[in-house]
């Protein structure tokens, strides 16, 4: 795979040119959130696939221009599904499933960890109500049956931490090398 791969170029363009919109109610933009998420995954020693998933987990916002905070308007934008659909032909489940499941992982953690809800940002609490709230025991069991559920939970934890104004991270190109290494051959 090379930088001339049009799929890689499209992903780079989305992150570098289409991610200037504010990230929910946080004082950062979509790009900063993506870079912070990937940086946390890299610093934690995660696999290349999970670092790529961390970088790309909110790409559904960028691909479909869903607005800066649809939850505020009472809309579940389903960005995780839209991102999954965009990425599915390019990556295997080790990347796409954590992306698809990162919202479900929030619901899962709210059901499994009594103190997790208190860690959510204001906009995550608002979107949680639109996304179905904490999982039921049946939903927890179904979530835990998915092989990539642990990676989705880890990604969710990075997602919640990646909202720090002014945090210096490596640039997008640093993380796009992980994307390049895990993208499927064209």
- Tens of pLDDT, residue by residue over 11-24, are 999 998 877 766 66
- Domains contained in the chain, CATH given: 6-182 (1.10.3210.10)
pLDDT for the residue numbered 64? 73
- Residue found by looking up tokens 């961390």 in the block: 54
DSSP state of 68: S
Contacts of 100 (CB under 8 A, 6+ apart): 80, 81, 83, 84, 152
**53-101 per-position pLDDT tens digit:** 999 999 988 887 655 555 555 545 678 899 999 999 999 999 999 999 9
Q: How far apart are CA 88 and CA 70, in angstroms?
A: 24
Q: Average pLDDT for residues 135-151, to the nearest whole number?
A: 98
Q: Average pLDDT for residues 155-184, to the nearest whole number?
A: 95
Which of 34, 96, 30 minimizes the C-alpha distance to 67? 30
Q: Is the Cβ–Cβ distance between 78 and 60 less than 8 Å? A: yes
């Amino acid at each position: 795979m090379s930088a001339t791969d049009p799929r890689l170029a499209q992903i780079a363009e989305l992150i570098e040119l289409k991610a200037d919109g504010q990230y929910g109610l946080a004082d950062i933009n979509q790009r900063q959130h993506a870079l912070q998420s990937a940086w946390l995954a890299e610093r934690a020693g995660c696999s290349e696939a999970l670092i790529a998933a961390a970088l790309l987990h909110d790409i559904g916002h960028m691909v479909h221009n869903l607005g800066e905070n649809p939850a505020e308007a009472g809309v579940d934008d389903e960005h995780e599904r839209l991102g999954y659909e965009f990425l599915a032909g390019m990556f295997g489940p080790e990347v796409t499933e954590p992306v698809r499941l990162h919202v479900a992982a929030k619901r899962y953690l709210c059901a499994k960890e009594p103190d997790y809800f208190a860690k959510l940002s204001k906009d995550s609490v608002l979107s949680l109500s639109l996304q179905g709230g904490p999982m039921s025991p049946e939903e927890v069991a179904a979530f835990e049956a998915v092989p990539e559920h642990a990676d989705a939970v880890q990604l969710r934890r990075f997602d919640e931490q990646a909202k720090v104004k002014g945090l210096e991270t490596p640039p997008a190109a640093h993380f796009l090398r992980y994307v390049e290494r895990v993208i499927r051959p064209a």
